[in-house]
Amino acid sequence: MSTWRFLDTGPASGALNMAVDEALLEGAAQGEPVLRIFGWEPPALSFGYGQQPWREVDLDKCRAAGVEVVRRLTGGRAVLHWEELTYSVVCREDDPQCGGPISHTYRRIGEALVEGLKLFGVEAILERARPRALRPRERGVSEPCFSSLARWEVKCGGRKLIGSAQRRVRGAVLQHGSLLIGPQHRRLLELLPAGRGEGRGEAARHLEEGSICLRECVDGPVDLARLGQCLAEGFGRCLEVEMRPGGLSPAEEERAAELMELQYGNPAWTGAVRNLSLSHG
């Protein structure tokens, strides 16, 4: 039986969370596959690699609300990480469980997430999805991640529960995604720039209708520690692997600290200033 590392790194800043993901990705070719779960403290707004934050949201509003701004290594749309548990999967592109074509990786990870959620008592399903085109009247705002659809979606009650994004570099795969615990992700629309109100009501409706949080799927409070253990067990069962709990290695911690200082904690790299020229090593 293959072995995966299971890391519960707890809550951290957006800059550190994204730096850890990249540090793990850099070591994926030499190490075991990794399932990592974590939270965000303070709340953070993450953007896809190709987005320009100062065009998408009002950065002053973000600062006033205590929301950090960070750029992800992966693509996709903006996500407000507030009341959520986030997962990361890092593996080789030829990994026997989750490697292969992009859609296959999405599906296998989705199946494992669904298995973990079912152990937690959630009637989740994995559904093949088609992207929804924005209508002309909605184009005044950038569509949030949780009102859009990717290749495979983890849903509960017909609405999206987990939003994911993927990146592949040098033969390795990073896929990470947000498991919504509460409804705070919907406050993203409050952070839009002035003058971007056209279509906001429609976008809010699609966000409300298209997403659901875990508190709406279970009775009683959400025990995050138990949820994390259920996800790890779900991956182990679905992928037929042994999940080995552990922590970051000293080398991974050192690399993450370096990436946080040079990139993810750097306003110029993040895109919190205009006329940014992106570069990435």
Q: Which residues are catalytic?
A: 145
CA distance 235 to 151: 20
CA distance 183 to 213: 6
Question: How does strand 241-246 pair with strand 34-40?
Answer: unpaired
Residue among 86, 14, 84 nearest 46 (CA) = 14
Structure tokens at 170: 């040098």
What's the 3-state SS for the chain?
Answer: CEEEEEEEEEEECHHHHHHHHHHHHHCCCCCCCEEEEEEECCCEEEECCCCCHHHHCCHHHHHHCCCEEEECCCCCCCEEECCEEEEEEEEECCCCCCCCCHHHHHHHHHHHHHHHHHHCCCCEEEEECCCCCCCHHHCCCCCCHHHCCCCEEEEECCEEEEEEEEEEECCEEEEEEEEECCHHHHHHHHHCCCCCCCCHHHHHHHHHHHECCHHHCCCCCCCHHHHHHHHHHHHHHHHCEEEEEECCCHHHHHHHHHHHHHHHCCHHHHCCCCCCCCCCC
